[in-house]
Amino acid sequence: MSNKDEYELVPINVPMDEAESLLDSGRLNEALHAYELLIEENTLNSGVWKGKGTALMALGRYQGALDCFEYNINLDPSDAEAWNNKGDILTFFWNVCRGNKSL
């Protein structure tokens, strides 16, 4: 792992469980890359959008994460975890706007 982003590229045909494993192990940039590759293969997989949103949220990239969770919810309106994550981000934005940066 010597490239400038400090992560290895994941093979193009990465399985979903590989992306989830990267996310669970805290290898966030690698997980994000894996989810992006999975989205290229199938834009209608709501779980992939949730995974990408989770990785972005953990990286502090909240607007991108919010966009992913909204896309996930459009694909699967019954996904309670996606709704919860969206609510967490909106609460964070609300607190930042109100000047309370701690959650």
Closest CA to 53 of 41, 11, 75: 75
Grade residue 99 by pLDDT with cuts at 50, 70 and 90.
Answer: confident
CATH of the domain at 50: 1.25.40.10
3-class DSSP assignment, residue 103? coil
For residue 5, tell me if it sits in a domain.
no
What does residue 38 show for φ and ψ, rounded to 5 degrees? -65, -35
For residue 6, tell me if it sits in a domain.
no
- What pTM does this model have? 0.80
Q: Which segments of 43-79 does DSSP mark as H helices, in order?
A: 46-58, 62-75
For residue 83, tell me if it sits in a domain.
yes
CA distances from 40 to 34, 44, 97 (A): 10, 10, 34
pLDDT, tens only, 17-48? 999 999 999 999 999 999 999 999 889 999 99
CB environment 89-101: b (16+ within 10 A), e (fewer)? beebeeeeeeeee
